Amino acid sequence: MSDENNRPLIQMQGVSKFFGEFQALKNINLEVRRGERIVVCGPSGSGKSTMIRCINRLEEHNEGHIIIDGNELTDQVKDINAVRREVGMVFQSFNLFPHMTIVKNLMLAQQLVRKISKIEAHTTAMQYLERVKIPEQAGKYPIQLSGGQQQRVAIARALCMKPEIMLFDEPTSALDPEMINEVLDVMVDLAKEGMTMICVTHEMGFARSVADRVIFMDAGEIVEEAQPTEFFDNPKNERTKKFLSQILTH
């Protein structure tokens, strides 16, 4: 294998992040290989979201290095844009553009960022809407869709940009229970196709069946990192045990 294939797709080296006095991330070291599926969990305020938001520069890290596919994230707009082109993100609150129809939501960045023609962007948009199983909603506005449908559109919108990496920031936390599975199904399909994924989620069933590694964070640190069976059946750290006992009681 060439050097390029051996190199981790995501490298975080000694990353720290401060919000004023508060240290949200403490010396984070993380490497993610191409095709790996990582689930990040931990109590609220533990820095999970902040960590993945640093990867596409929605948050700026204060210390350490973040290198995505060989591009180090710096203050340079050029570097940030290069990284953002490769990294798709799905948010807890969907964040679809409310004033655009579904298909326009999927076409916008293709046309503006990838400079793809309108016709081609439309074709790609419809392909991905088929994949998330809602092509019939293409002409509607986001508000006319259910939460689960909106989140599937958001996933499709990110996929239209053909990213190397997908970040999921609690994608099912804002959904009614009956809609969670339709979103997880899409994510499972994506994982099967070999997409590199980092998912912040508390869906432990998803973590168990899909993740290559589960990362547990607390107070801005990575406390434990293990394969899912090991992580769930034999957690090492006291904080991990306590967290798992709290979320797996019912």
Partner 1 sequence: MSFDFNLIAESLPLMLMGIGITLKLLVISGALGFILAVCLLLMRISGRWYLNFPAQVYIYVFRGTPILVQIFIIYYGLPQFEGVRDSILWPILREPTGCAILALTLNTGAYVSEILRGGVLGVGKGLLEAGSALGLSARQKFIYITAPIATRLALPAYSNDVISLLKSTALASTITIADMTGIARTIVADTYAPYEIFISLAIIYMIFTFGLQKLFGVIERYLGRYTRREG
Which residues of this protein are in contact with partner 1, per CB under 8 A? Answer: 56-58, 81, 84-85, 87-89, 91, 93, 95-100, 108-109, 112-113, 140-144, 154, 157-158, 161
Query: Judged by CB, which is closer to partner 1: 127, or 181?
Result: 127
Query: Judged by CB, which is closer to partner 1: 51, or 154?
Result: 154
Q: Shortest distance, CB of residue 92 to partner 1, whole angstroms?
A: 9
Q: Shortest distance, CB of residue 224 to partner 1, whole angstroms?
A: 28
* DSSP secondary structure letters along 32-85: E-TT-EEEEE-STTSSHHHHHHHHTTSS--SEEEEEETTEEP-S-HHHHHHHHH
Give, as one character, the DSSP assignment of residue 114: S
Query: Judged by CB, which is closer to partner 1: 144, or 237?
Result: 144
Q: Shortest distance, CB of residue 158 to partner 1, whole angstroms?
A: 7
Q: Shortest distance, CB of residue 11 to partner 1, whole angstroms?
A: 20
Q: Shortest distance, CB of residue 53 to partner 1, whole angstroms?
A: 8
* DSSP secondary structure letters along 176-223: -HHHHHHHHHHHHHHHHTT-EEEEE---HHHHHHH-SEEEEEETTEEE
Please check whether residue 38 is in contact with residue 211, taking contact to mean a CB–CB distance below 8 angstroms: yes
The distance from CA 238 to its chain's CA centroid, rounded to whole angstroms, is: 27
Angle at CA of residue 164, ends 159 and 169, nearest 5°: 65
Q: Shortest distance, CB of residue 65 to partner 1, whole angstroms?
A: 21
Query: Judged by CB, which is closer to partner 1: 117, or 237?
Result: 117
Query: Judged by CB, which is closer to partner 1: 76, or 237?
Result: 76
Query: Judged by CB, which is closer to partner 1: 147, or 235?
Result: 147
Give rounded-to-5 percent helix, strand, coil for the chain: 40, 25, 35
Q: In whole angstroms, what is the distance from residue 219 CA to residue 127 CA?
A: 41
